[in-house]
């Protein structure tokens, strides 16, 4: 009987209509207008507007079995369908096609502190959150002391959580979740909470849960955590299951696939706008010896080379002089993070020539490992957009080759992480001494 899987999925799929997004949030008036349009379209013999909607299969035809006691790491790039899969398995969303059969209670930890209310005390939130996660009252009564001890908030347990520090809040929230005892546990990257000691404690607790024979499904971008906690792996890409098996094999496949993505590190001029009399001909990330590369280790400098030229060089008197170059580095999701401009104090002015190569070096470490995009801008301030290229380059910041503490603590969040000059003094300022 133990060979019967706890989770069996057959042809599981989830479809979204991207064009319908506006209507989903819409008002009744829009729905009526939409219905009238569809009716008119049909009368005219045209196709309904459903055909023109873009359809996205967030997960597509997934079939898999998970045996009791397995700890499965689900990996894949952003948008691969990992969260959608967990939401279907934890019954938050319905699949569009196929089915999943689940034996046993499912505890879903898609975030910590779901349902926490700022005005309620730590004790009250523990009960409320526990009940929302599916614990019985008697179960919470029994584990209450353990939860409070684990969260290290005993002195503040009867204080409203709005007065908690964010660390205390997260610790309590994780502690409640960690004491959920369902047969199946579904976890979405909630590990990285609190300070270093607490993170270790969380990982330890997860280890403990995994060893006690429960079935765990775990999403993370942190391959080290996945390899440490999981025995099996599932690799998703654009909604499809492309590899599954032992966690080491799947992580290796994932890393290899990430490296071989062709467009990383190549100039992409699609979508360029501007008057265009001067253009960026190429942009690339280069290593220490000037070779174009797709990624650099986090601790190294990021050096970008741009080739700029006039598009109509025969025109007499024209030159690149006066053009401002801006590189905007964005997160993988397109959120601008950093702007680099050649008019900075350490910048250079473009010379009176028809073509040149300009290099921008950003001293490392700056970015935590992850994938980043770059937008390019060439123009005359206040006057003219000459060349604007969105998503001109996608590049990767690789895990550091030397140990770098901020990386270890931030667990691969895409943020800027710089060195600062830190000073710590032990002398108490005179003014404060006077007050006390």
Partner 1 sequence: MRTASQPDVMLPTRRLEPSHGWNLHRLSEIWTYRELLYFMVWRDIKIRYKQTALGAGWAILQPVLTMVVFTVIFGQLAKLGSDGKPYPVFSMTALVPWTYFATALSAGSQSVVANQHVISKVYFPRLLVPLASVLGPLIDFGIAFLVLIVLMFWYGIVPGVAILWLPALLLLSVLTAAAGSIWLSAFNVQYRDVRYVVPFLIQLWMYASPVPYSSSLVPARWRLLYGLNPMAGVIDGFRWALIGGPSPGAMTLVSAGVVILALLLGAAYFRRLEGTFADRI
Provide the minimum distance between the beta carbon of 170 and partner 1 in the complex, in angstroms, as a whole number. Answer: 15
- For position 144 contacting partner 1 by CB under 8 A, the verdict is no
Query: Which residue in the set 136, 315, 357, 385 belongs to the binding site for partner 1 (CB under 8 A)?
Result: 136
The count of chain residues that interact with partner 1, using the rule CB under 8 A, is 56
Residue 195 in tokens:
């300070």
Q: In the window 9-28, what residues touch partner 1 (CB under 8 A)?
A: 16, 24-28
Stretch that binds partner 1, among 209-217, 312-320, 342-350, 368-376 (CB under 8 A): 209-217
- 111 binds partner 1, rule: CB under 8 A: yes
Cβ neighbours for 344, distance < 8 A, ≥ 6 positions apart: none
Rounded Cα gap, residues 366 and 20, in angstroms: 39
Mark 160-189 with x for binding to partner 1 (rule: CB under 8 A) and - for no binding: ---------------------x-x------
Residue 64 Cβ, how far from partner 1 at the closest point, in Å?
14
Cα separation, 170 vs 394, whole angstroms: 34
For partner 1, the binding residue among 34, 49, 110, 326 (CB under 8 A) is 110
The conformational region for residue 134 under phi > 0 = left, psi -120 to 50 = alpha, else beta, is left
Sheet arrangement for strand 355-362: 292-293, 278-286, 302-310, 355-362
Least Cα distance to 57 among 14, 88, 93 occurs for 14
CB of 376 to partner 1, least distance (A): 37
**64 forms part of the interface with partner 1 (CB under 8 A):** no
For residues 45 and 82, is the Cβ–Cβ distance under 8 A?
Answer: no
Among 49, 64, 65, 131, binds partner 1 (CB under 8 A): 131
- Which of residues 87, 201, 232, 284 is near partner 1 by CB under 8 A? 87
Residue 141 or 384: the one with the smaller Cβ distance to partner 1 is 141
Q: Which of 56, 128, 310, 337 binds partner 1 (CB under 8 A)?
A: 128
The smaller minimum CB distance to partner 1, of residues 28 and 427, is found at 28
By the rule CB under 8 A, 68 interacts with partner 1: yes
The single residue among 71, 108, 222, 412 that binds partner 1, judged by CB under 8 A, is: 108
133 lines the binding site for partner 1 (CB under 8 A): yes
Could you say whether residue 197 binds partner 1 (CB under 8 A)?
no
Angstrom distance (rounded) from CA 406 to CA 416: 11
Q: Which stretch binds partner 1 (CB under 8 A): 44-52, 128-136, 163-171, 325-333?
A: 128-136
Look-up of token digits 């590899």:
243
Binding to partner 1 in span 354-373, by CB under 8 A: none
* Eight-class DSSP state of 300: S
**Candidates 38-46, 89-97, 147-155, 242-250 — which segment interacts with partner 1 by CB under 8 A?**
89-97
Parallel, antiparallel, or unpaired: how do β-strands 232-237 and 240-246 relate? antiparallel
Write down the least CB distance from residue 92 to partner 1, Å: 5
Phi and psi dihedrals of 354, rounded to 5?
-95, -15
Options 36-44, 207-215, 250-258, 355-363: segment touching partner 1 (CB under 8 A): 207-215
| Binding residues among 211-250 for partner 1 as defined by CB under 8 A | 212-215
| Whether the bond into 365 is cis, omega within 30 of 0 | yes
User: Does 79 help bind partner 1 (rule: CB under 8 A)?
Assistant: no
Nearer to partner 1 by Cβ, of 166 and 291: the residue is: 166
Backbone angles phi, psi at 55, to 5 degrees: -105, 135
Q: Rounded distance, CA 217 to CA 226, Å?
A: 10
Nearer to partner 1, 131 or 293 (CB): 131
Residue among 41, 57, 79, 120 that touches partner 1 (CB under 8 A): 120
> For the chain, how big is the Rg over CA atoms in Å?
27
Strand, coil or helix: 409? helix
Q: Give, as one character, the DSSP assignment of residue 20.
A: G
Contacts of 149 (CB under 8 A, 6+ apart): none
CA distance 281 to 284: 10
Question: Judging by beta carbons within 10 Å of its beta carbon (0-12, 13-18, 19+), is residue 9 exposed, middle or buried?
Answer: buried
Beta carbon of residue 314, minimum distance to partner 1 (angstroms, whole number): 58
First vs last Cα of the chain: how many Å apart? 71
Q: Which residues bind partner 1 (CB under 8 A)?
A: 1-2, 6, 16, 24-29, 31, 68-69, 87-106, 108, 110-111, 114-115, 117, 119-120, 124, 127-128, 131-134, 136-137, 181, 183, 212-215
């Amino acid at each position: 009987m133990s060979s019967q899987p706890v989770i069996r999925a057959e042809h599981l799929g989830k479809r979204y209509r991207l064009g319908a997004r506006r209507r989903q949030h819409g008002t009744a008036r829009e729905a009526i207008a939409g219905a009238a349009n569809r009716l008119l379209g049909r009368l005219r013999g045209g196709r309904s507007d459903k055909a023109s909607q873009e359809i996205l299969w967030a997960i597509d035809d997934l079939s898999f079995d998970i045996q009791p006691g397995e700890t499965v790491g689900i990996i894949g790039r952003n948008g691969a369908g990992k969260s959608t899969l967990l939401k279907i398995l934890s019954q938050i969303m319905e699949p569009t096609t196929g089915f999943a059969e689940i034996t046993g209670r499912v505890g879903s930890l898609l975030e910590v502190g779901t349902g926490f209310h700022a005005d309620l005390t730590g004790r009250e939130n523990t009960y409320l959150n526990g009940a929302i996660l599916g614990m019985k009252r008697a179960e919470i009564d029994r584990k209450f002391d353990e939860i409070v001890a684990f969260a290290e908030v005993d002195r503040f347990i009867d204080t409203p959580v709005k007065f908690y520090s964010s660390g205390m809040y997260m610790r309590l929230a994780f502690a409640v979740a960690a004491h959920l005892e369902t047969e199946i546990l579904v976890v979405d990257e909630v590990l990285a909470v609190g300070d270093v000691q607490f993170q270790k404690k969380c990982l330890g607790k997860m280890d403990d849960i995994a060893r006690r024979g429960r079935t765990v499904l775990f999403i993370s971008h942190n391959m080290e955590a996945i390899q440490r906690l999981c025995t099996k792996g599932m690799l998703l890409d654009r909604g499809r299951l492309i590899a599954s098996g032992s966690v080491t094999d799947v992580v290796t496949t994932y890393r290899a696939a990430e490296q071989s993505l062709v467009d990383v590190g190549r100039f992409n001029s699609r979508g360029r706008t501007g008057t265009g009399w001067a253009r960026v001909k190429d942009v690339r990330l280069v290593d220490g010896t000037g070779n174009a590369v797709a990624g650099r280790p986090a601790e190294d400098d990021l050096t970008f080379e741009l080739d700029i030229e006039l598009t109509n060089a025969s025109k007499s008197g024209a030159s690149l002089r006066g053009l401002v170059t801006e590189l905007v580095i964005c997160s993988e999701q397109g959120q601008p993070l950093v702007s680099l401009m050649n008019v900075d104090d350490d910048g250079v002015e473009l010379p009176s020539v028809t073509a040149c190569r300009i290099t921008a070096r950003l001293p490392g470490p700056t970015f935590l490992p992850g994938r980043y995009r770059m937008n390019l801008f060439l123009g005359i301030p206040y006057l003219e957009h000459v060349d604007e290229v969105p998503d001109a380059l996608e590049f990767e910041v690789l895990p550091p080759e030397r140990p770098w503490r901020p990386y270890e603590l931030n667990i691969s969040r895409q943020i800027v992480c710089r060195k600062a000059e830190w000073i710590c003094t032990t002398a108490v300022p005179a003014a404060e001494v006077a007050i006390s």
